[in-house]
Structure 1
Amino acid sequence: MWPMQNELTLFRKMQEGDWYAFNYFFESYSERLYLYALGFVGNRAEAEDIVQDTFIYLWVNRAKITHTGSLYSYLSQSVKHACIDWKLHEEVERKYRQEIMTSGEETEEKTDNFEELYGRLQVVMDSLPPKCKEIFILGCVEGLSYKEVAEQLGVSVNTVKTQVKVAYKKIKSEFGNTDKNFMLILCNSFFKR
């Protein structure tokens, strides 16, 4: 289709609204991105949705995206972040529901309240610096220890502890006293390291 043109030229054409250039990227990368997402989330439908949402975002925001490197790298980072967000949602929801059932306070109102609380958590997470968010996610979603996070990211254990404190402080300022149960679930689950 576009065998001799380089990726940057195609990217610029896509930014100008060239559907064929966009389709080239979709055809070239969607299967690899799907397999990457599937390996991360372990759910076929969710992996498909994540990749589809990534390409929809690419098309809708094409004029705003500044791209200088490999588009596949950009897309795989987008898919990775979406997978992390999905895993965070699943883990927080699982722990929240488990806590509600254990406490005997399971009501429709508390169950419905989760999405609102999670939305607020997502806003806090999105406001964190990228490295801080990554450290928090590795610790809370992946369940890695401070030492394991430090080794994986090539930083010191003290850096990990500092970044977790930054995340914790922001979360606490958002949830504070008004949503103590949700805050306790987050703290008890994610900061026992």
Structure 2
Amino acid sequence: METDNDTDADVSLTRRLAGGDKAALADAFDRFAPTLTRYAWALAGSRQDVEELVQDTFLTLWQKADTLQLSTRALLPWLLVVCRNHARNQARAVAKQASDELPAELASPPGAEEARERLRWVRDEIDSLAPLDRRICELCLIEGHSYTEAAEMLGLSVGALTQRVSRSRARLKKAVTHDEH
């Protein structure tokens, strides 16, 4: 759980980064690289892809440091979203390359249809949510919009949206751990 000291440290670190302090980037790397690496392993399948995701995330942090606005004063959520977005871009590039190289009938990876069917129940669980919660899940968890973007689209505060996402994730987690699908 984030403490006030952690968020104060994040604000200070963000200011240092915005000022072009290279030591701040090293500090950010030391502090967040282990967590980002674990997260990247959930998004990518090879060591090379994981390393690339982590590097790209910190490069983005460095490049955007002077315009960075943290909605929660915590840097880690922003880094995780950036990492997820890089993973999606990486997956799109791989898929595009594969589809460009293969005939259309072979473009779908083997087992894709089976995987979609096995995960159909997750979509069914999302569909059973209240309409607003379902739309929030679609925007944040499926389409990859940031909480700030989704809140703006739906006319909610970031805090209200965060609470709704948290409740929906808890419900989905409960369904995953308690149901046999």
Q: TM bucket by the smaller chain?
A: 0.5 to 0.7
Question: How does the TM-score come out when normalised to structure 1?
Answer: 0.50
- In 2 relative to 1, CA 47–155 (structure 1 residues): closer, same or farther, beyond 3 Å? farther
- Provide, for residues 111-160 of structure 1, a one-character-per-residue CA deviation record: whole Å limited to 9, x for no partner: xxxxxxxxxxxxxxxxxxxxxxxxxxxx99x847776446358576x96x
Which residue does the alignment assign to 1:88? Answer: 92
TM-score, scaled to structure 2: 0.53
Separation in 2, partners of 1:150, 1:90? 28
- Following superposition, the deviation at residue 89 of structure 1 comes to 2.4
1:96-117, CA deviations, whole angstroms, 9 ceiling, x for partnerless residues?
4331696xxxxxxxxxxxxxxx
Structure 1 equivalent of residue 101 of structure 2: 97
3-state SS in 1 of match to 2:65: coil
- AA matched with 1:151: E
Q: Could you say which structure has the greater relative contact order, defined with CA pairs below 8 angstroms and 6 or more residues apart?
A: 2
The aligned amino acid for 1:32 is T
Distance change >3 Å, CA 33–CA 92, structure 1 → 2: same
| Equivalent residue number for residue 37 of structure 2 | 34
- Tell me by how many angstroms 1:68 deviates: 3.4
1:4-61 deviation per Cα after TM superposition (whole angstroms, max 9, x unaligned): 8621122112211222222211111112212211221111111111111111111122
- Aligned residue number for residue 80 of structure 2: 76
Alpha-carbon separation, structure 2, partners of 1:32 and 1:50:
12
Find the partner of 1:25 among 25, 28, 32. Answer: 28
Q: Identity of paired residues, percent?
A: 18
How much has 1:66 moved relative to structure 2? Answer: 1.4
Matched, 1:151 2:111: no
Classify 1:86/1:149 alpha carbon distance in 2 versus 1 (closer, same or farther; 3 Å).
farther
**Runs of at least 4 residues off by over 6 Å:** 144-147
Name stretches of at least 5 consecutive residues in structure 1 with no aligned partner: 103-138, 168-193
Q: For residue 66 of structure 1, give the secondary structure of its aligned residue in structure 2.
A: coil
- For 2:105 and 2:121, locate their aligned partners in 1 and report how far apart those are by CA, in whole Å: 32
1:92–1:143 Cα change, 3 Å: farther
Q: CA deviation at 1:64?
A: 1.4
